[in-house]
Amino acid sequence: MPESDIAALNFLHTRRSRPAKTLAMPVPDRADLEQLLTAAARTPDHGKLEPWRFIVVEKTAMPRLADLAETRGKVLGLDPEDIGKGRSQFDMGHLAVAVIEVHVPSPTIPALEQTYSAGAVCLSLLNAALAAGWGANWLSGWPSHDRVFMQEAFALKDNERIAGLIHIGTETTAPPDRPRPDIAAKTTWLSE
């Protein structure tokens, strides 16, 4: 019988993202953030392609991204509430890591598996930040899916897109737990 890592299992059973709007200063310094990025990079990656990269968004970059989100929202004809939502994560942000999916042409590794790897990096970074005692949240929102925003905000190439924006900071309030999935209803056992 394998030996369980009880602390790790307990963390996974009780982990809870922190709403980005409740995150405050201080944020991880570069050395601390490098440790979190190193943990995140230990993710499933079929073919060892590393089909992702990181862009660290510091507090001083947030106003430019907030303004860009507002401008893009107006150009796209979004309603003011949606524009405000797109802008707010940057208005409130103190530190975020943009996880960028980088599609690598491969005859053997499907694009979808590369997307899964980038998503795994997002969750790994989120969990690493939480395990290190920080508050963290994985956000996206319409700006993350707008090609012009991606290019102007982060100079992304045509084979790149935003997999997620992981906001990291100091937790100011612990959120209540939310209802969790009914595992029995979500699980099928195949015995033959």
pLDDT digits (tens, 9 = 90+) for 45-77: 888 899 999 999 999 999 999 999 999 999 999
Q: What is the pLDDT of residues 80-124, one digit of tens each?
A: 999 999 999 999 999 999 999 999 999 999 999 999 999 999 999
Q: What percent of the chain has pLDDT over 70?
A: 100
pLDDT of 187 strictly over 90: yes
Q: Say what the pLDDT of residue 178 is.
A: 87
Computed over every residue of the chain, the mean pLDDT equals: 96
Could you give the percent of the chain with pLDDT greater than 90?
Answer: 94
pLDDT at residue number 30: 98
pLDDT at 177: 84
**Angle, helices 147-154/62-75, rounded to nearest 10 degrees:** 160
Name the pTM for this structure: 0.95
Which class is domain 18-60+94-172? alpha beta
What is the structure's pLDDT at 176?
80
Measured CA to CA in angstroms, residue 168 lies from 26, 63, 91, 156, 162 at distances of 9, 17, 14, 22, 17
The yes-or-no verdict on residue 174 having pLDDT over 90 is no
33-38 contacts: CB < 8 A, separation 24 or more?
Answer: 33/95, 33/97, 33/168, 35/128, 35/132, 36/125, 36/128, 36/129, 36/132, 36/168, 37/97, 37/125
How many C-alpha atoms does 184 have within 13 Å on its Cβ side?
A: 0
- For the chain, the domains span 18-60+94-172
pLDDT value of residue 192: 93
Better-predicted residue by pLDDT, 177 or 164 = 164
